[in-house]
Amino acid sequence: ILSGRTQDLNLAFLGKRLNKLGIRIAEARVISDDSDVIINTLNECRSKYDYVFTTGGIGPTHDDITSAAVANAFGVPLIRDPEALTLLRQHYANPKDLNEQRMKMCEVPKGAKLIDNPISKAPGYQIENVFVLAGVPRIMQAMYEALKDRLVPGEPMKSRTIIAFIGEGKLAEGLGNIQIIHSQTEIGS
């Protein structure tokens, strides 16, 4: 996503699934792999919104710094979670395959609750209202399915799309009047 070469599938998936639960996305951000940016963004968003979802940055590579930044944002240590370690040991039959880089995927902020990953076993986690998920779409989607029962549902947004081959300038006044009369309805054009 940062380079622009990768299409973001995660936001569209989360938007559709959360809406089915009646949870609306209020804001989406793409931020850099910079610890200060992650900490500041996370602290701002977690105090402002009911739920915060992050995707990516929890893998085994040098630039996967999300877990350390999340721990810093919450003021807790980053620990090697015993349950996560057990899951990875079971997944990698050959102990040599569970190298130090992969062990990094067992590190979570102290007090975090693991989120199951049925695909590659390296879990995501939840700490308070923040859900930290993998960036690989297939894995992120599986993690979402594992966590969705932790969310408090609301009323799903109902929408209808109308295609009109008329310029917005001709519709603007009428749409504005309808919006005024039906203030509980959101009209976008």
C-alpha distances in Å from residue 120, one per residue of 10, 104, 117: 17, 14, 6
Mean pLDDT for each 10-residue chunk of the chain (189 residues)? 64 94 93 94 97 94 94 98 94 88 94 96 97 96 97 84 84 87 82
CA distance 15 to 11: 6
Task: Check if the beta carbon of residue 113 is closer than 8 Å to that of residue 126.
Answer: yes
φ and ψ of 107, to 5 deg: -90, 125
Q: What is the pLDDT of residue 161?
A: 82
Q: What is the pLDDT of residue 1?
A: 41
Q: What is the pLDDT of residue 5?
A: 54
pTM: 0.86
